[in-house]
Amino acid sequence: MAIYEYRCSSCGVQNDVIQKMSDAELTTCPACGKETYSKQISAAGFQLKGNGYYVTDFKNKPASSCETSACNSCPSANG
């Protein structure tokens, strides 16, 4: 469990939210309902450094439009 500081860039509300590391990041502001709620990087002892830690929960991952096996963009085409 970790405490994250969230802030809405529309109405400016700030809240501390207790989440698991695996929980999805919140985006909807509980005060104004806009999708401008975002996690702040605070100095609460949570630092990203070193190797081996990646955040890969991008929501809008582009769909693969590759149709050729010679495409260099496809990781699976390298074998």
List interacting residues with Zn ion (CB under 5 A).
Answer: 8, 10-11, 29, 31-32
For 1, which DSSP code? -
Kindly tell me which of 13 and 19 has the beta carbon lying closer to Zn ion.
13
Q: Residue 69 CB, nearest distance to Zn ion (Å)?
A: 47
Q: Residue 31 CB, nearest distance to Zn ion (Å)?
A: 4
Kindly tell me which of 40 and 64 has the beta carbon lying closer to Zn ion.
40
In three-state secondary structure terms, 54 is coil
- Compute the distance between CA of residue 29 and CA of residue 32 in angstroms, rounded to an integer: 6
Place of tokens 């509300």: 13
